Amino acid sequence: MPEASDALDMLRRADSIKTSNHVEFLSLLKQLDARAASLPADQRSYLRYLDAWQVAYEGSYEGAGLQLNAIIREVTDPVLRFRATATLINILGIGHRYEEAFTHLSHLIDDLPNISDKRARFQGLGEASQMLISAGQYDLAVNYAEQMLENIPPGDTACKATSYKLHAQFRRGGMQTLDKAFQEGVELCVNTGETLFANAIRADIASFEIQHGQTAHAIALLQNNYASVKRDQYPSLISQFEALLAQAFWQVDEPVQSRNFALAAIDSSIKGEYTEPLSIAYDLLYRIENQQGNYRAALAYHEKYLAADKGYLNNVSAEALAYQVVKQQVQASKLQFDTLNKQNQILHLEQALDRKAVENSRLYIILLLTVLAFIALWIYRLKRSQLRFMWLSRLDSLTGICNRKHFLEEAEHALHHAQKSGQKAALIIIDLDHFKLVNDTYGHAVGDQVLRRAVAACQPHLRPRDIFGRLGGEEFGVLLHDCGADQALARAELIRAAIAATPLIDEESDVVISASLGVATTLRCGYEVRDLLINADHALYRAKSDGRNRVVSVRMDDGAGRFTHEAAQRAGAGG
C-alpha cells in the first residue's frame, strides 16, 4: 500500500478505492480515524462521510442512516451534503422507506444542475439508476447509467455505469440470448480493478444461464469467483452468489451441495431483511426436505419461505408504487403551483383594470380560465392514473390474473369471511407438467403462450367469487368459495381435463399441455392460507410423483402428524 503523507490525499485515495480495493480502504480509514481529532473541520467532515459509507457497506443501515442525516444537517459543504444525500437514498431504499427515498431522489435530481463536482454528479446519477431499477423503471435507469458513461470523473472508470446499465437490461427481461456486452462488462471491471461490480455482472450472467438450462456453465462461473466475492465482504452479493449456487445444484440433482449453499445464503443475508436470495434459499430447503421425506423440517422451511417470499414481493410492489406516488405528487405540486399563479394573475388583472380594460382583456381572462380548466383536468387524470397503477400492480402482467401478493391477500380475506360465516372453502394448486422442457425446446415466447392458454382453459370452470392467481413461474392457485372436499375434487378434475384438452399452439408444433393439481380443504386443514398452501403443495408433489396429469387431495393425520394422500387419477400419466 502506498504511504500517504497528507491526510487529504489519504481521504481522496480512500474515496477512490472504496469498492476496488476494500482492504486498503479499511486500512486507510483506520489510520484516518486515529488522527481524526487533529484534522481540519472540512477533512473531519469528509472522514465522517466515508465512515458512514462503510457502516452502510457492512449492512448496518440504521446506524449509517443516523450518521448520514447528521452530516446533511451539520455540514456546510454542498458537495458533501449532496453525496451524503445520495448515499442516504440508498439506505432508505434498503430500509423500505420508499416514498422518503424517492422524495429525496426527486430533490437530488433537481439539484444535479447546481453540482459541478464530477464525482458527486457521478454518484448522484448512479443512485438514481439503482433506485429506478428497483422500482421497475428500467428504461429510465438505463438513461441515467448512460449519463454516467458520458460524465466519468477523473480517476474513475466506466465500470460502475456499465454494470448499472447491464443490470437494468437484465431485470427488464425479454432476452433470448445473452448479449456479448455482459462479458465485455465483466472484462472492463476486472481490468480496472472493480471486482465487486464484475461479480455483480457475473451474478446476472449466471442467473440467466440457470433460467435457460445452461446450469453447468453457471456453476463453474459462480464457483470460480466465489472466493473473490467473499473477499469483497459485501453481504448482499455474497448471499446472491450462494442462492444462485444452491439453485444451480438443485437443478443438476445435487441436493447436498444445494442445501449447503442455501444455508450459507441464509447466514449471509442481512438480518431482518426480506430479499430474493433469502426467499430462494428457504424454498430450496423446503423442496430438499420434502423430497427426502423429512416433512416436519419441510413444513418449517415452507413457513419461512412463505414469510420471506411475501415480504420480498411486498417490498418490490411497495417500491414500484412509491415511485409512482412520489412522481405524481411532484407533478401535482407543480400543477397546483401553476394554478395558484394563474389565479393570482386573474385576480390582479380584475383589480387593476377598469371596465374598458376588462372588456379588452376578456379574451385573456378566458384563456387563463381555459388553462385552469386544463390543469384541473390534468390533476384529475393524474389521480385516475394513480388508481389505475395501483390496480395493475395487483395483476400478473403476462396472464392478467392476480399476482402472488394480491392472491394471498384476497385469499386471506376470503377465508376469514368464510370462517366467520361457517362456509367451506378449498385451495387448488396447479402446476404445468414439464414446463421447463417446453421453454428449453421451443423458447420463452411459446412458454408464455402456453401459460396464457392454460389460464384461459381454467377460467370457464371458475365462479365469480373464486380467486385465481399466478403463484410464480408455471404454478397457479385457485381458492374455491363455498366448496366442500368432494366438490373441490370434481372441479379440480374439470380444470385438469380442460388444460389437457387445450389445443396445440400451432399446427407445426407438438406441444402438449397438461397439469398436476393438489387440493386442500378448510374441513381438513383449517382456514389459514399458510396451512392450505402447505397441504396443497404436498398433494401436488404426490401428483407429480405419481405420474403427473392428475388430481391429488391431501389430509393431515392429527394423531401422527404425518401426511396421507387420496388420489383421483384421471386419464393416465400425461406429459
SS (H, E, C) 340-388: HHHHHHHHHHHHHCCHHHHHHCHHHHHHHHHHHHHHHHHHHHHHHHHHH
Considering the entire predicted model, what is its pTM? Answer: 0.61
User: In angstroms, rounded to a whole number, what is the distance separating the alpha carbons of residues 492 and 458?
Assistant: 10
State the pLDDT confidence band at 505, using cuts at 50, 70 and 90.
low
Share of the chain above pLDDT 90, in %: 32
Average pLDDT, rounded, for the chain: 81
- Residue 290's H or E segment, with its range, is helix 276-291
**pLDDT computed for residue 550 by the predictor:** 93
Q: What is the pLDDT of residues 445-485, one digit of tens each?
A: 788 889 999 999 999 999 988 999 998 888 999 999 989 89
In 446-456, which positions are buried (b, 16+ CB within 10 angstroms) versus exposed (e)?
Answer: bbebbbebbbe
Using the Cα atoms of residue 390, residue 391, residue 396 and residue 402 in order, give the sign of their dihedral: positive
How many Cα neighbours within 13 Å face the side chain of 83? 21
Specify the pLDDT at position 95: 63
Q: Do the strands 467-472 and 515-521 form a parallel or antiparallel pair, or are they unpaired?
A: unpaired
Which pLDDT score, from 0 to 100, does residue 348 have?
64
Distance in angstroms between the alpha carbons of the first and the last residue of the chain: 62
Residue 298: per-residue pLDDT:
86
Instruction: Determine the pLDDT at residue 344.
Output: 61
| Lookup result for grid cell 490525499 | 9
Per-residue H/E/C for 399-460: CCCECHHHHHHHHHHHHHHHHHHCCCEEEEEEEECCHHHHHHHHCHHHHHHHHHHHHHHHHH
Q: Which range among 131-140, 200-209, 372-381, 464-473 has the greatest average pLDDT?
A: 200-209
Confidence of residue 75 (pLDDT cuts 50, 70, 90): confident
Q: What does the pLDDT average to over 521-542?
A: 90
Comparing 1 with 433, the larger pLDDT belongs to 433
Q: Is the pLDDT of residue 507 over 60?
A: no
Lowest-confidence segment of 227-241, 386-400, 404-418 by average pLDDT: 386-400
Q: What are phi and psi of 468, to 5 degrees?
A: -125, 125
Domain ranges of the chain: 317-392, 404-568
Give mean pLDDT, residues 193-217.
Answer: 92
Instruction: Answer yes or no: are the C-beta atoms of 115 and 103 closer than 8 Å.
Output: no
- State pLDDT tens for residues 376-406: 776 667 666 555 555 545 777 788 888 888 8
Q: Is 385 left (phi over 0), alpha (psi -120 to 50) or beta?
A: alpha
Q: Which residue has the cell 429510465?
A: 140
Average pLDDT over residues 143-163: 90
> What is the average pLDDT across 166-172?
89
Instruction: Name the fold adopted by 404-568.
Output: Alpha-Beta Plaits (3.30.70)
pLDDT at residue 239 greater than cutoff 70: yes
